[in-house]
Amino acid sequence: AQTVTQSQPEMSVQEAETVTLSCTYDTSESDYYLFWYKQPPSRQMILVIRQEAYKQQNATENRFSVNFQKAAKSFSLKISDSQLGDAAMYFCAYLVQGGSEKLVFGKGTKLTVNP
Amino acid sequence: DTAVSQTPKYLVTQMGNDKSIKCEQNLGHDTMYWYKQDSKKFLKIMFSYNNKELIINETVPNRFSPKSPDKAHLNLHINSLELGDSAVYFCASRPWAGGSDEQFFGPGTRLTVL
């Protein structure tokens, strides 16, 4: 079964600086999809970024980018120029495919942004 | 114009009661999900429906019964509520059961069982 591990329960960053959140996963599949979701105090789950495993190029969305290392099964999220609104829980997720697609989530990293 | 809505947002009830949570999506998606987020924020899938057909049932106690009257709605009924059922329940939807499209989440329902 696929598993997702986020080894950092909590992280903090100064406003305007850069922070990297770690995620590793375990799978025997060769083609799959990975996601980072953000959950602010409002509780809403918001998609931050998506990576297709067959793409070698790392995904980027404005200040958010990933470092996808397929061989190492690592999928870290880099947030540049951190803003107060980035404070949230961040969840790494793996999309299990095969007719009954579902997301398997890591346990999350709580990010604090200090002014 | 809420894409995925859930009612109620908060639910406080006594042990042993039966309660329902409703979910509706106006995105025209075929696939809907229920996830449970426990007190440690861990999110885990419970059920998935595709076009009103159950396709995922993740070893959830049979006190939990999902119902999909049409593909825009997926409700969750819980019988004989227990303290351990206290959690936030999220509904989600995606266009169809295959592919890599993102899942759109509802705002969550915080269930507290006293």
The domain locations on chain B are: 4-113
pLDDT for position A31: 82
pLDDT for position A92: 97
Could you say which architecture CATH assigns to the domain B4-113?
Sandwich (2.60)
pLDDT for position B100: 66
Distances (CA, A) of A74 to A9, A48, A110, B27: 17, 17, 19, 33
* Chain A partners within 8 Å of B56 (Cβ): 100, 102
Ranges of beta strands (E only) in A1-115 are 3-5, 10-14, 19-21, 24-26, 33-39, 46-52, 60-61, 64-69, 74-79, 88-96, 102-105, 109-114
CB distance B102–A47 less than 8 Å?
Answer: yes
pLDDT for position A38: 97
pLDDT for position B59: 78
Cβ neighbors of A93 (< 8 A, separation 6 or more) are A4, A34, A35, A36, A37, A103, A104, A105, A106
Q: How confident is the model at residue A63 (pLDDT cuts 50, 70, 90)?
A: very high
* Chain B partners within 8 Å of A52 (Cβ): 100
pLDDT for position A101: 78
B52 versus A90: the higher-pLDDT residue is A90
Q: Any CB–CB contact under 8 A between A33 and chain B?
A: yes
Q: Any CB–CB contact under 8 A between A97 and chain B?
A: yes
Return d(Cα B41, Cα B101) in angstroms, integer.
Answer: 24
Cis peptide upstream of residue A9 (ω within 30 degrees of 0): no
Return d(Cα B42, Cα B88) in angstroms, integer.
Answer: 10
Q: How confident is the model at residue B7 (pLDDT cuts 50, 70, 90)?
A: very high
pLDDT for position A32: 87
Return d(Cα B5, Cα B2) in angstroms, integer.
Answer: 6
Q: How confident is the model at residue B80 (pLDDT cuts 50, 70, 90)?
A: very high
Mean pLDDT of B50-78: 91
Q: Any CB–CB contact under 8 A between A41 and chain B?
A: no
> Over chain B, what is the mean pLDDT?
92
pLDDT for position B45: 93
State in words which class domain A3-114 has.
mainly beta
pLDDT at A4 over 80: yes
Mean pLDDT of A43-60: 93
pLDDT for position B97: 63
Mean pLDDT of B11-36: 96
pLDDT for position A84: 97
Share of chain A above pLDDT 90, in %: 81
- Residue A82: closest CA among A112, A40, A50: A112
Q: Any CB–CB contact under 8 A between B3 and chain A?
A: no
- Residue B113: closest CA among B13, B44, B1, B20: B13
The phi and psi torsions of A98 (rounded to 5 degrees) equal: 115, 40
Q: Characterize the bridge pairing of strands B10-13 and B109-113.
A: parallel
Residue type, A25: Y
Return d(Cα A85, Cα A48) in angstroms, integer.
Answer: 13
pLDDT for position A44: 94
Give tens-digit pLDDT for A67-102.
999 999 999 999 999 999 999 999 999 988 776 678
